[in-house]
Amino acid sequence: MASVFVAGASRRTGFELVRRLRQDGNRVTAMFRTASEQPRIEALGAQVVLADAFEAASVERALQTGGPWDAVFCTIGGRPGDSPRIDYIGVKHIVDAAKAANIERFFLVTAIGCGDTFETLEPRAQVFLRDALLAKNQAEAYLRVSGLSYTIIRPGHLTDDPATGSGVLTTDARASGSISRAEVAALLVKAWQSPHTKRVVLSAVDRAKLAPSRTISEVTL
């Protein structure tokens, strides 16, 4: 049984990831800010630690709860119009705390649209997501030079549909389409278990929902 730490675990992709990790029998500590979400996370069998990712000391204390950790998963993200953006500041604090705790494996969820995938977005999305993508790009860059053994996963358009089993990871910067949060969670766990995903940046899409429909090269896990 592995011990893992999930930051941003109270909702959406983070919640689905905690569910998947617990189903596989892992010991999970889930970090988030809102106490009202605690009962449903604890119902999955995870330990909860409340912390504010905007505050470096709060994050550092959270990562000192339990452990040692086999991996840290960071799924935090802001909402449209947020300022400042947790997408960079929060990630930076979590990366720093992971380094201080001597944690080797770090998984970061960002989005298709970051880095060399920007041109896959429609012009309206490029404008609408500009601030979020800028912060996520900063977070990716910070993690890449951190010295941690990282895996960055950029999902396509996220939905709340059930997992399909047809999610794939690819280095193809032109890949785009939708994918469910539950499927992203499944791919994160597979990437963690794979020896081929260290220090890589991958897009996550559902092969049945590619846009436009075409063939992409899939990463072997």
Q: 86-100 vs 56-63: helix axis angle to the nearest 10?
A: 50
pLDDT at position 63 is: 94
pLDDT at position 171 is: 95
Strand partners, 150: 106
Q: What is the CATH number of the domain that holds 51?
A: 3.40.50.720
Rg (CA), the chain: 16
- Domain count along the chain: 1
Domain span holding position 20: 3-209
pLDDT at position 52 is: 95
pLDDT at position 65 is: 83
Q: How many CB atoms lie within 10 A of CB 36?
A: 7
Residue 221 belongs to a domain: no
pLDDT at position 215 is: 72
pLDDT at position 213 is: 62
For the chain, residues with pLDDT lower than 70 are: 213-214
3-state SS track over 125-191: HHHHCHHHHHHHHHHHHHHHCCCCEEEEEEECEEECCCCCCCEEEECCCCCCEEEEHHHHHHHHHHH
pLDDT at position 79 is: 76
pLDDT in tens, 176-199: 999 999 999 999 999 999 999 999
pTM of the predicted model as reported, rounded to 2 decimal places? 0.95
Residue 216 belongs to a domain: no
Residue 78 belongs to a domain: yes
pLDDT at position 84 is: 84
CA geometry: angle 103, 109, 115, nearest 5 deg: 110
The amino acid sitting at 124 is: R
CA–CA separation, 182 vs 159, rounded Å?
Answer: 9
**Phi and psi dihedrals of 5, rounded to 5?**
-120, 130
Residue 220 belongs to a domain: no
